[in-house]
């Protein structure tokens, strides 16, 4: 009888151990990364099981980057945040969900890949759109998301603003007037980049979509390359979407180890290959060189031109900032 009881106890402990091995991560991400993380997650789950003998499930949540950041603050239990802009993770740090120096924890300022901003037009480019300057012309309908809720929209805005500064000898007053003209040509502001893609590609609104480079390629692949052309502007911006473990949540869930490993995995050659194949610009120099022909060379400004995100966010996109000033005049 004692042996029977002991066997039952051991079996129960084994069942508990098996249960403990199962883990679940929630990756809260920005709009256009749905397809990317489906592929990355599949590879990570397979590798983790092979190396550690543990099952892990990764769930995804997507939306406008700032809207996603707000959801985390309001209680969405993200283990990791893979958002479109550093300022959307900074606000999580401000709320005590992770350390203020979170960008120092991973290579490339915790940015495993980059992107840039391009223009997507109808096939044959019937409106003759060749560069940013064409977007302020009368009769051009421009589709871009709302900078209040979308990281992509903020990269769009600053890429255009940098062009305006360059064209006007860094005269900020003239640049503001120019960007105001551009937004007068915007008929609708979706909350996220994917929403704007749907508005342009599926609903058929607008003459040009200001888009993440990867999103422009995805739209062509999904809706048909015979429907769109990608216009590479004369200049753009280095868009850097960062990643971070949301320490407070991961610690509570007991997923700190896996969450950290998951983000480090994004820097591996295997993950970088997946990233490049999905038209995101990989950080790894070897993978980057392999796919160099896939990414056109563009004169790229950086967020440093605007003082970094801690300066640019309130100046341009905070309440009463530049965007509010020029859009209120629409």
Q: With cut-offs at 50, 70 and 90, classify the pLDDT of residue 289.
A: very high
- Using alpha carbons only, give the angle 301, 305, 311 rounded to the nearest 5 degrees: 135
- Alpha-carbon distance values, 100 to 79, 105, 151, 234 (Å): 17, 11, 20, 36
Q: With cut-offs at 50, 70 and 90, classify the pLDDT of residue 74.
A: very high
**Residue 317 has which token pair?**
């996109």
For residue 6, the model assigns a pLDDT of 39
d(CA 153, CA 148): 8
For residue 5, the model assigns a pLDDT of 40
* φ, ψ for residue 198, nearest 5 deg: -65, -45
User: pTM here?
Assistant: 0.88
Query: 58: how many CB neighbours lie within 10 A of its CB?
Result: 21
- Reported as a single tens digit per residue, the pLDDT across 135-158 is 999 999 999 999 999 999 999 999
Q: With cut-offs at 50, 70 and 90, classify the pLDDT of residue 188.
A: very high
- Reported as a single tens digit per residue, the pLDDT across 17-47 is 444 457 999 999 998 999 999 999 999 999 9
Strand boundaries in the chain, DSSP class E: 23-30, 56-63, 80-82, 113-114, 117-122, 142-143, 208-212, 228-231, 235-237, 243-245, 281-282, 299-301
* Whole-number average pLDDT of the chain: 92
For residue 312, the model assigns a pLDDT of 96
Query: 17: how many CB neighbours lie within 10 A of its CB?
Result: 9
**Residue 266 has which token pair?**
């994004």
- Reported as a single tens digit per residue, the pLDDT across 5-21 is 434 444 444 444 444 45
DSSP state of 85: S
Contacts of 62 (CB under 8 A, 6+ apart): 29, 30, 31, 33, 34, 68, 194
How large a percentage of the chain has pLDDT more than 70?
Answer: 93
HSE, CB side, 13 Å, CA atoms: give it for residue 294.
18
**Residue 118 has which token pair?**
């391009």
Which one, of 66, 60, 54, 96, lies nearest residue 78 by Cα?
Answer: 60
Better pLDDT: 15 or 220: 220
Query: 73: how many CB neighbours lie within 10 A of its CB?
Result: 13
**Residue 81 has which token pair?**
């945040």
For residue 123, the model assigns a pLDDT of 96
114: region left, alpha or beta (phi > 0 left; psi from -120 to 50 alpha): beta
- Alpha-carbon distance values, 239 to 41, 117, 147, 151, 242 (Å): 23, 8, 14, 9, 10
19 burial type by CB count under 10 A (0-12 exposed, 13-18 middle, 19+ buried):
exposed
Cβ pair 271, 37 in contact under 8 A: no
Which one, of 184, 110, 192, 179, lies nearest residue 141 by Cα?
Answer: 184
For residue 3, the model assigns a pLDDT of 39
């Amino acid at each position: 009888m004692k042996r029977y009881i002991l066997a039952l106890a051991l079996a129960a402990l084994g069942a508990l151990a098996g249960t403990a091995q199962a883990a679940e991560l929630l990756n809260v991400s920005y709009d256009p990364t749905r397809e990317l993380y489906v592929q990355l997650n599949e590879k990570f789950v397979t590798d983790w099981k092979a190396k550690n003998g543990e099952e892990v499930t990764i769930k995804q949540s997507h939306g406008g980057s700032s809207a996603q950041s707000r959801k985390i603050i309001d209680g969405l239990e993200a283990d990791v945040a893979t958002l479109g802009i550093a300022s959307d993770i900074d606000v999580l740090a401000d709320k005590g969900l992770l350390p203020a120096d979170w960008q120092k924890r991973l290579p490339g300022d915790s940015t495993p890949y980059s992107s840039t901003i391009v223009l997507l037009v109808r096939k044959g480019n019937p409106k003759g759109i060749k560069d940013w300057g064409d977007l302020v012309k009368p009769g051009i309908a421009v589709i871009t998301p709302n900078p209040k809720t979308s990281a992509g929209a903020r990269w769009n805005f600053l890429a255009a603003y940098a062009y305006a500064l360059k064209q006007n000898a860094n005269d900020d007053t003239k640049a503001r007037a120019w960007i105001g003209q551009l937004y007068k040509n915007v008929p609708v502001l979706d909350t996220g980049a994917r929403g704007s893609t749907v508005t342009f590609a599926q609903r058929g609104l607008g003459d040009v979509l200001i888009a993440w480079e990867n999103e422009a390629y995805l739209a062509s692949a999904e809706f048909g390359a015979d429907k769109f052309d990608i216009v590479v502007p004369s200049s753009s911006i280095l868009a850097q979407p960062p990643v971070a473990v949301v320490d407070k949540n991961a610690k509570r869930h007991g997923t700190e180890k896996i969450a950290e490993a998951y983000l480090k995995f994004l820097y591996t050659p295997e993950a970088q290959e997946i990233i490049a194949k999905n038209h995101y610009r990989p950080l790894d120099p070897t993978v980057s060189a392999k796919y160099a022909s896939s990414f056109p060379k563009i004169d790229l400004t950086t967020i440093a031109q605007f003082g970094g995100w801690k300066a640019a966010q309130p100046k341009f996109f905070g309440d009463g900032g530049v965007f509010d000033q020029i859009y209120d005049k629409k």
